[in-house]
Structure 1
């Protein structure tokens, strides 16, 4: 069983920027011991740690791992378990994107997207579950996407991978439903992050538009609110799902997409 006096341990993959950084910060503010993951230079990693834990109860720890490599994904979870003894909350947030027509997409890019977003989620879940089962508590939160529920052109690898993450989420939830463990997927719409910002030029190229038109007519067009979701909005939901009052929420997708999937 989990000792309520002990701080919970949260591993957040891809947490040195964007959504992951906001989630790690939210957990750190609440007193979690946070394992931060990325592939940053020492200087950038230090900056991320300062942003997350500069004034929090427990200093976050950085774990470098390239999640495109299955051995490093497995090693990441093992390193966190070795350092902290457990993983109470696992947030699979790491993801990459490549915008291109199917017949122009490099198979290596397809494989890399699958490795980072799907394979790493499977491997970290696999490593974290035995301890969660032993303690009778665990929260697994997979950051999927509105593209896990809907498709868009020129994003075959990303859409396929996020659909798979949703399927993985449901399956894991059913397997552990009686063991105090939940597994859910958050499906954001367009969130203004470095990953999204990096897409603008690619989207402009494949659509034959200006970058300004891409933002207005491609990215924000599906979202009835016509605004980017903020990373802190995703972080607040991830924080709620990690708590005791979310114990009956499992195997579901939670859309934070400005109304995109309501249409």
Structure 2
């Protein structure tokens, strides 16, 4: 059996929303595989640039940080332009708000659609010409189990993630006869610092121990009763960049412990 072939050497990956959580996990996996990486978020702090420098030294690849407010289409496109090259685009940036439709603030709806969906349109539109010029490319959209299923009180998030899945299919069809693929990864619940911070609150609210709070509350919809990890998502994204995945395009890969099998 052949081993997983790494992505071609010298390629550059631009990962939106990558100074923490899922995006950072994917960035670390990519850098560890020898890919150059562009980190991004809206914050543009000293710590963000230090994170890029630390990752670069650890893996011997070029890692840069470029700040951009992805709620604005022109800044999303500028991110790609400032990167200079984009062989692999990972659209990961996202925000969330929970409320019933009648109470859902219009401003929150607009922001979620802009960051979770529209930014991916703008970055993809800017990156595809670079991929075509270099003769190779990968578009990886981080959707969600909510791109395939719905939950109450998450109208904007569910709409955006369903939209990401649909846009992924369109990009795949438009590039089907080129060495470019487009796929969406649909995670369920992932153990990120934000989720980790919710565990003590959940334990206190329901008067449960840690294991019970995770199994019966946080992971109630995830049949495996285990979180996915950022490292697992990084490995999945890396696989999609390998030659083994050259004929995988226009589809979704669920990393959700069986959630969408129900």
Aligned residue for 1:157? 156
Are residues 1:89 and 2:88 paired? yes
- 2:41 maps to which of 38, 43, 57: 38
Taking structure 1 as reference, are residues 190 and 44 closer, same or farther at Cα in structure 2, changes over 3 Å only? Answer: same
In 2 relative to 1, CA 6–242 (structure 1 residues): closer, same or farther, beyond 3 Å? closer
1:211 & 1:9 partners in 2: Cα distance?
47
**Counterpart in the other structure of 2:20:** 17
Q: How far apart, in 1, do the equivalents of 2:70 and 2:207 lie?
A: 30
Cα displacement string for residues 55-88 of structure 1 (whole angstroms, at most 9, x for unaligned residues): 112131000001111121111111112xxxx211
CA contact 1:25–1:53 (8 Å) conserved in 2: no
1:211 Cα deviation from its structure 2 partner: 8.8
Tell me, what secondary structure is at the counterpart of 1:250?
coil
Separation of aligned partners in 1, 2:124 and 2:256: 25
Deviation string for 1:153-207 (max 9, x for gaps)? Answer: 1111101100000000001001101011000000000112245457789x97xxx
Structure 1 gaps, min length 5:
none
Partner residue, 1:111: 110
Q: Once the 2 structures are TM-superposed, how far is the Cα of residue 228 of structure 1 from its aligned partner?
A: 1.1
After the TM superposition, which of the residue ranges 61-70 and 210-219 deviates more from structure 2?
A: 210-219
The correspondence of residues 27-176 of structure 1 with structure 2, limited to 5 A, is: 27-50=30-53, 52-81=55-84, 86-176=85-175
Partner of 2:4: none
| 8 Å Cα contact 1:31-1:58 kept in structure 2 | yes
1:240 pairs with 2:243: no
Is the 1:17–1:48 Cα contact (8 Å) retained in structure 2?
Answer: no
What secondary structure sits across from 2:38 in the alignment? strand
Counterpart CA distance in 2 for 1:217 and 1:152 is 17
Equivalent residue, structure 1, for 2:180: 181
Q: CA deviation at 1:39?
A: 2.1
Conserved 8 A contact 2:53-2:64 = no
* Structure 2 residue ranges without an equivalent (≥5): 1-6
Q: CA offset at residue 54 of structure 1? A: 3.5
Instruction: Give yes or no for contact 2:44–2:67 (8 Å, CA) kept in 1.
Output: no
TM-score (norm 1): 0.88
> How high is the TM-score relative to the length of structure 2?
0.88
- Is this contact kept in 2: 1:9–1:89, CA < 8 A? yes
Helix, strand or coil: the match of 2:66? strand
How far, CA to CA, are the matches of 2:180 and 2:207 in structure 1?
43
Secondary structure in 2 matching 1:186: strand
SS of equivalent to 2:190? coil
Kindly state the Cα deviation for residue 244 of structure 1 after the two structures are TM-superposed: 1.6
Tell me the C-alpha RMSD between the 2 structures. 2.3
SS at match of 1:55: helix
Q: 1:245 to 1:158 in 2, by over 3 A?
A: same
- Give the Cα separation in 2 of the matches to 1:134 and 1:118: 25
**Partners of 1:224 and 1:262 in 2: how far apart?**
9
User: What secondary structure does 1:139 align onto?
Assistant: strand
